[in-house]
Structure 1
Amino acid sequence: MQQENGADEEATVDVQFTELPNALIACKVPEDLYEEGALRVSFESLFRSFDPEVQFQYFKSFRRVRISFSDALAAAEARLRLHKSDFNGKEMRLYFAQSVHIGSPRLEPPKPEKQFLISPPASPPVGWEQSHDATPVINYDLLCAISKLGPGEKYELHTATPTTPSVVVHVCDDGHDDSSAPDDSDHDDRPRPLLAPKSSKRAAPTSPTSDRQSHVNSDAKPPEKTMEI
């Protein structure tokens, strides 16, 4: 049980140390510190006592000094001991540097905040009204010109040219003068022609009268057949 508890404590300590930043930012430092000299050597010696591999970055325009340690524990210990300490007659303040974790070493495009699908709304907006279709336009001039056309006459719309034919409109008559389809009343008044009877294959009795009739019928032309439509 003690070994397990010790292992849990070590795991928690490792997590806490790894989450801490390994760099400090020194503020309110003397202006002579940004020049090479004995003052810079004494300043760096304060932090090299915690980590011999410490690195310094001087930002004169911001009056800041970034102090990067190889271990987060050394950075935390240096802050606990040197924060608000006196250096060259001024109070020195130390803060942990904010670490920025980048998921990919490459530059990624911005998040698509305004890239969304443009679709029609499911319901009409407020104040929308159904528009009524316009009434059809009646061309009275065309109707008047058609009414003036007389039955049985023809009207030339376009005259003929050497390359195009003429356009002529023939107006149909209203009467029923078609002989192919007469009315039933015409059939009653028209006399129907008689059709000749068909000849029979049976032999007729031999008699002088019948022989004379057959001789006359053979020389005569057959009557014309007419069909009533």
Structure 2
Amino acid sequence: MEHPDKVGKEATVDVHFTDLPDALIACKVAEDVFGDPLVKASFEALFRSFDSDVTFQFFRSFRRVQIRFSDALLAAQVRARLHKSEFNGKEMRLYFAQVQDATPVINYDLLCAISKLGPGEKYELHTGTPTTPSVVVHVCESEQDGSGAEDDKRGQRVRPKIVQTRRPDYAPPLH
């Protein structure tokens, strides 16, 4: 016998799609999509059947297509319906496009410190630890041509040798 409070009531779930991306990435897209206008139109029509306002960005060298929908709910529905489906003889894989931060991060303290450096000075960006190296910026001493090259005894330019940074010793953690 059912509990009297649950008779005639259904459980509902309130789902918010505002945090999901409104774009999908189609991976391993058939080459014909990029070269044959009819196949490309057919590919676009497949997604336009879900959303007439969909837009496409084709990345031929990666064999990927970014498909942007008018809202995240449509993107989720299309992924559920078409992920691992076949298009033009190839299995199509659809993934949600990662939302990238559009604003670049600028470290003004770092830029200020570097701008104050003179030739031959250095600035430590990151202090090393037992398992990571330190990161240091060195300003070139030669201001003439910016190459760091100097004249040898015959008056010819000699490029300085690039010394490879030694990899820090690594001790695997003990478990």
> In the TM superposition, what is the alpha-carbon distance from 1:108 to its structure 2 partner?
4.2
Structure 1 equivalent of residue 25 of structure 2? 25
Q: Give, as a single letter, the amino acid of the residue that structure 2 aligns with 1:22.
A: D
Relative to the length of structure 1, the TM-score reads 0.40
Residues in 1 aligned to 2:56 and 2:33: alpha-carbon distance in whole angstroms: 12
Aligned partner of 1:92 in structure 2 is 92
Q: Where does residue 48 of structure 1 map in the other structure?
A: 48
Q: Aligned partners of 2:105 and 2:30: how far apart in 1?
A: 40
CA distance in 2, matches of 1:35, 1:78: 24
Percent of aligned pairs with the same residue? 57
Q: Relative to structure 1, is the Cα distance of residues 59 and 111 closer, same or farther in structure 2, using a 3 angstrom cutoff?
A: same
Q: Which has the higher strand share?
A: 2
The residue aligned with 1:109 is 106
Matched residue, 1:79: 79
Separation in 2, partners of 1:70, 1:25: 15
In our comparison, the structure showing a higher alpha carbon Rg is 1
Deviation at 1:28, TM superposition (A): 1.3
What is the RMSD computed on CA atoms of the aligned residues?
A: 2.5
User: 1:53 and 1:94 mapped to 2: Cα distance?
Assistant: 19
Q: CA deviation at 1:41?
A: 0.9
Distance 1:80 1:86 in 2: 14
Show structure 1 runs of 5+ residues with no match: 1-7, 116-229
Separation in 1 of the partners of 2:61 and 2:96? 20
Aligned residues: 102
- Cα 1:111/1:95, change in 2 over 3 Å: farther
Q: Which has the higher contact order (CA 8 A, sep 6+)?
A: 2
Alignment of 1:194-205 (within 5 A): none
Q: Identify unmatched segments of 5+ residues in structure 2.
A: 1-11, 111-123, 126-175
Give the whole-Å Cα distance in 1 for the aligned partners of 2:108 and 2:87: 46
Alpha-carbon distance between aligned partners in 2 of 1:111 and 1:77, rounded to the nearest angstrom = 43
